């Protein structure tokens, strides 16, 4: 009797839990947005488990159907399978990046393993694979449109290149590799966030020489909130760290901050060295299972670059073009620093931002802090959103009835020029302990066409770590932060303007080395007076930014371009080095030193490294893909040169960019899309001209 009562009680609890879990059903909120207020952390894991169970049932039904395989009953059915699972994944994993907690982090580790096992089970389903292959083998007779053909190609590759044809021990090895990689990459990212949050640097008034009022005020506010009024609390959060390195006159403290920031995740509880060794070893094993010598060769097969040789060709070409200018920049900076100090100075990496900022001010009378009052966040939002209005006719309306996941977050409805509903964009601008560092765009819902022909519009989000407002000042941005906003908003437009039939190919679901084109294209507007004049005004007086200040931004745009390029190349070479290994690496730090030698700017600093915090390649999906930023930079400079020629707000050129790039997603090969927009293949010439390396 007691057992029966417990069974009934458990069943009742389960039924009530399912009825109350908002992730189990379609949302009935305004515009079908995520009901964040109703979701509890405990809801996620049960929703993921349920989603996996339902997805498995859908996959089983597709694989076991008696009808002969067709494009509709196999490929389209496969595309539409797992929607319940996708709904919870898009919420959980996005919030685990932007508003996490220890419980969510542990769920992420468990969920990643379950999801990896589910994905592998789909790929290894031989009945399903045979159906996909049968449709693919008959593709010449199907008379498919371009988008359907791409969906079929993607489905076939998803199986063929992820183990469907593996047998016996190789199949078992694949399963184990994928599962372990999923767990390790998740833990890598968590370690970065966890260690970052452990750093508190307490300073006194005597330690603040050179720091701008905005940094001092923020540090005082942080100390006050921590119960130590009268002191100053600095962390390694990106805006705090960058401002400190740029302005602190205390070389000893800059060195301390640098060593802390660049020494993260090397020792102790949150060390990532073992994770790096194992991740790269497993990726190499994975590549070898498919007959490739390196992971990069395996990963690049379906990128614009196509192969390792083409990536190194670009990196080497840019290195040779920029190296002479970078060496001159460093020599000039060394001479300047020595003059400032009245004695010879050997520049160290913790000196670069400080003296570079001083030289920039001396040469162009440019001080980013001086410009902050003209870039108050709400005005910048109007300006950046207004760019989309001028180019594409979009309108943005804040919707306070849409639930958000944190009080800092705002939601906006986006409508088209004729009033048609385009989508929703969330903005999340300020750092907090629950958010990882950096800036990114993501989506809570992709665009796609439903079974009844409805164009289901996307919900996207842009997440950043800008300078927070204080008790007496709003959030005032530097030009660099405005550029970051423009960048992520470019990604958001790629998602918002998507107009494809299938979710798996909409928006930013494109080749890795093509995805940064819309974002980096947007950055070009920061140096355009016509753009700045539209929103940059003093947050107190309302006066527009003086022409002299606009000229400073424009005239200083090429300053240190060679250094910036070489730094990006360093990340690219390091990424490629890790993913072109042919044997496991033991000494992570020595390997890194050798990998970046071709683009080394400063000698290595003992106890400092990039790899242990390199989220992009060890946790963020850019493995063998970090070169994409420079690849896309070539594209964006080439693309913007057409706008410069026709007018930066030229309607015809903007329409072409929207219809041929932003709306198409991954429905065609990006080289085809780009040529259709530009009328030619890109060259590095426009980039060299923009950066002042080559005269026009």
3-state secondary structure (DSSP) of residue 546: coil
Q: What are phi and psi of 605, to 5 degrees?
A: -105, 125
Q: What whole-number distance in Å separates Cα of residue 631 and Cα of residue 311?
A: 9
Distance CA 143, CA 140 (A): 7
Token digits for 90? 């898009």
Catalytic residue among 488, 516, 523, 592: 488
| Planar angle of CA 430, 432, 437, nearest 5 degrees | 80
- Structural contact between residues 223 and 229, judged by C-beta atoms closer than 8 angstroms: yes
Rounded to whole angstroms, how far apart are CA atoms 75 and 148?
A: 9
Structure tokens at 613: 């915090």
Whole-angstrom Cα distance, residue 441 to residue 436?
Answer: 13
Nearest to 147 by CA among 448, 377, 456, 472: 448
- Map residue 644 onto helix, strand or coil: helix
With left for phi above 0 and alpha for psi between -120 and 50, is residue 291 left, alpha or beta? left
Q: Do residues 507 and 443 touch, judged by C-beta distance below 8 A?
A: yes
Strands 421-428 and 459-463, by their bridges, are parallel
Token match 């670009």: residue? 314
Q: Report whether 236 contacts 219 (CB < 8 A).
A: no
Asked if 420 is an active-site residue, the reply is no
Q: Do 342 and 500 touch, CB atoms closer than 8 A?
A: no
Sequence-distant (6+) residues with CB within 8 A of 485 are: 380, 384, 462, 464, 466, 477
The alpha carbons of the chain give a radius of gyration, in whole angstroms, of 26
Residues in the chain: 696
* Short-list 626, 592, 581, CA closest to 273: 592
Which of 420, 421, 400 shows the shortest CA–CA distance to 412?
400
The secondary structure of residue 367, as a DSSP letter, is: -
- Rounded to whole angstroms, how far apart are CA atoms 437 and 97? 9
Distance CA 468, CA 491 (A): 23
Q: 3-class secondary structure for 470-538? A: CCCCCCECCHHHHHHHHHHHHHHHHHHCCCCCCHHHCCCCCCCCCCCHHHHHHHHHHHCHHHHCCCCEC
d(CA 477, CA 162): 44
Alpha-carbon gap, residue 623 to 616, rounded angstroms:
7
- Which residues participate in catalysis according to the annotation? 488
């Amino acid at each position: 009797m007691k057992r029966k009562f417990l069974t009934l009680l458990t069943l009742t609890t389960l039924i009530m839990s399912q009825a109350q879990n908002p992730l189990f059903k379609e949302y009935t909120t305004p515009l079908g947005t995520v009901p964040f207020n109703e979701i509890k952390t405990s809801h996620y894991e049960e929703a993921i488990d349920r989603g996996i169970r339902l997805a498995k049932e859908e996959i089983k039904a597709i694989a076991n159907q008696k009808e002969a395989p067709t494009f509709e009953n196999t490929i389209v059915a496969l595309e539409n399978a797992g929607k319940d699972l996708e709904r919870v994944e898009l919420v959980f994993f996005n919030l685990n990046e932007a508003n996490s907690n220890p419980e969510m982090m542990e769920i992420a580790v468990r969920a990643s393993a379950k999801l990896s096992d589910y994905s592998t089970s789909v790929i290894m389903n031989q009945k399903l694979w045979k159906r996909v292959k049968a449709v693919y083998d008959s593709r010449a007779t199907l008379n498919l449109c371009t988008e359907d053909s791409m969906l079929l190609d993607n489905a076939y590759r998803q199986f063929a290149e992820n183990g469907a044809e593996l047998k016996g021990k190789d199949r078992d090895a694949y399963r184990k590799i994928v599962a372990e990689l999923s767990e390790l990459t998740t833990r890598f990212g968590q370690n970065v966030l966890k260690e970052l949050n452990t750093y508190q640097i307490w300073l006194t008034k005597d330690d603040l020489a050179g720091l701008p009022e905005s940094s001092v005020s923020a540090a005082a506010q942080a100390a006050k909130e921590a119960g130590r009024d009268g002191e100053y609390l600095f962390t390694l959060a990106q805006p705090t760290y960058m401002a400190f390195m740029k302005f602190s006159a205390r070389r000893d403290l800059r060195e301390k901050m640098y060593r802390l920031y660049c020494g993260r995740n090397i020792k102790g509880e949150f060390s990532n060295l073992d994770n790096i060794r194992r991740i790269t070893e497993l990726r190499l094993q994975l590549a070898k299972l498919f007959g490739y010598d390196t992971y990069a060769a395996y990963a690049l097969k379906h990128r614009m670059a196509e192969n390792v040789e083409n990536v190194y060709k670009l990196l080497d070409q840019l290195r040779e073009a920029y190296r002479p200018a970078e060496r001159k920049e460093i020599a000039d900076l060394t001479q300047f620093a020595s003059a400032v100090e009245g004695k010879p100075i050997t520049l160290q990496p913790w000196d670069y931002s400080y003296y570079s900022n001083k030289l920039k001010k001396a040469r162009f009378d440019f001080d980013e802090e001086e410009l902050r009052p003209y870039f108050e966040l709400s005005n910048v939002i109007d300006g950046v959103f207004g760019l989309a209005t001028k180019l594409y006719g979009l309108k943005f309306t804040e919707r306070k009835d849409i639930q958000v996941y944190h009080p800092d977050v705002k939601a906006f409805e986006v409508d088209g020029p004729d009033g048609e509903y385009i989508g929703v964009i969330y903005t999340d601008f300020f750092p907090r302990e629950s958010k990882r560092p950096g800036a990114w765009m993501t989506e809570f819902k992709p665009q796609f066409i439903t079974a009844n022909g409805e164009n289901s519009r996307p919900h996207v989000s842009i997440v950043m770590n800008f300078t927070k407002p204080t008790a007496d000042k709003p959030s005032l941005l530097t030009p660099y932060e405005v550029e970051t906003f423009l960048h992520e908003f470019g990604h958001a437009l790629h998602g918002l303007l998507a107009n494809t039939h299938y979710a798996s190919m909409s928006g930013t679901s494109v080749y890795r080395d093509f995805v940064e084109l819309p974002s980096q294209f947007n950055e070009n507007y920061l140096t355009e007076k016509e753009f700045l004049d539209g929103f940059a005004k003093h947050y107190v007086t309302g006066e527009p930014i003086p022409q002299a200040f606009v000229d400073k931004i424009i005239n200083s745009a090429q300053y240190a371009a060679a250094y910036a390029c070489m730094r990006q190349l360093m990340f690219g070479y390091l990424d490629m080095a890790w993913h072109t290994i042919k044997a496991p690496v033991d000494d992570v730090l020595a390997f890194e030193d050798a990998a970046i030698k071709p683009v080394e700017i400063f000698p290595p600093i003992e106890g400092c490294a990039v790899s242990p915090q390199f989220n992009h390649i060890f946790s963020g999906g850019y493995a063998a893909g970090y070169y994409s930023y420079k690849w896309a930079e070539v594209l964006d400079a080439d693309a913007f040169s057409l706008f410069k020629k026709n007018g930066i707000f030229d309607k015809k050129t903007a329409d072409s960019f929207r219809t041929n790039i932003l709306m198409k997603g991954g429905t065609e090969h990006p080289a085809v899309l780009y040529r259709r927009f530009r009328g030619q293949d890109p060259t590095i010439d426009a980039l060299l001209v923009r950066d002042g390396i080559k005269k026009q």
